Homo-oligomer: A and B are copies of this chain.
Amino acid sequence: MNIGDAAKQSGLPAKTIRYYEEISLVVPGRSDNGYRTYSPTDVHKLQFVQRARGLGFSVEDCRALLSLYEDDHRASADVKAIATEHLSEIEAKIAELKALHKTLKHLVDHCHGDDRPHCPIIDDLAGPDH
Contacts and interface: CB of A to CB of B under 8 A. Distances in A.
Interface of A: 44, 47-48, 51-52, 55-56, 65, 68-69, 71-77, 79-81, 83-84, 86-87, 90-91, 93-94, 97-98, 100-101, 103-105, 107-108, 111-119, 121-122, 124-127, 130
Is chain A's interface secondary structure helix, strand, loop, or mixed overall?
Answer: helix
A117 to B, nearest CB: 5
Given A74-B117, A80-B111, 6 more contacts: A44-B126, A48-B127, A75-B117, A76-B122, A90-B100, A94-B94
B101 A97 contact: no
A72 B31 CA distance: 66
A127 B46 CA distance: 11
Nearest to A117: B74
B44 A127 contact: yes
B52 A125 contact: yes
A114 B77 contact: yes
B74 A125 contact: no
A130 B98 contact: no
Given A68-B122, A90-B100, A116 B80 contact: no
B90 A97 contact: yes
